[in-house]
Amino acid sequence: MSDILTSSRARKIDLKIQTLGPFFRVTGKNADTGVEVGRAEGVVRPWFGRGLVLHLDTIRLTKETKAMDKSVLGVGLYVGAVAIRHGYDCGCRTAQLLAIYDSDLYHSKLVRFYKRLGFEEVKEVSGSSFGDMADMLVWGGVGTRMDANIHHLLVKWSKVFLKSIS
């Protein structure tokens, strides 16, 4: 976690995590202005046969992100990395998210982005089957459910954070 925070400070992003039981919120602020630039929310929950699972519910970036010198994706990566590290510290082995289906173009770009980060497609949640109904209740919509091994994500991303420190 210290590598992530040190690297984010070098990019003028101040990260903070708040927890309430299994729920968490990671907030990223512009270190110069103190304005929020991104937020991630989720929950650490038990899942049958999988142990604890990190459920990434929301990652949002604000319009203030565009005013920063660094890329929008960089801010999202740092906010997401703190959430993933929190899951690792809580004993989670798997991170799950739903790439929401808004439109064909936007959805395909979102799925490609999460794949580059290290997530894998599990299934399409469309609401057409009984199993999809359970996923829709958990995730609150339709889209592509994606999973990732938390340890593999941290190893993959550590190169990014260590590179930006030196």
pTM, 2 dp: 0.83
Using only the alpha carbons of the chain, give its radius of gyration: 16
Q: Is the pLDDT of residue 44 over 60?
A: yes
Task: Assess contact for 165 and 7: CB atoms under 8 A.
Answer: yes
Residue 145: beta bridge partners?
98, 123
- Asked if CATH classification 3.40.630.30 holds for the domain at 1-92, the reply, yes or no, is yes
The average pLDDT across 5-27 equals: 89
Rounding to the nearest 10 degrees, give the CA dihedral for residues 2, 97, 38, 155.
30
Spatial CA neighbour of 117 closest among 90, 154, 145, 88: 154
Mean pLDDT of 6-31: 89
Stretch 111-127: mean pLDDT: 85
- Coil vs helix vs strand at 18: strand
Q: Residue range 127-153: average pLDDT?
A: 82
Q: Where are the domains of the chain?
A: 1-92, 99-158
* pLDDT exceeds 80 at position 12: yes
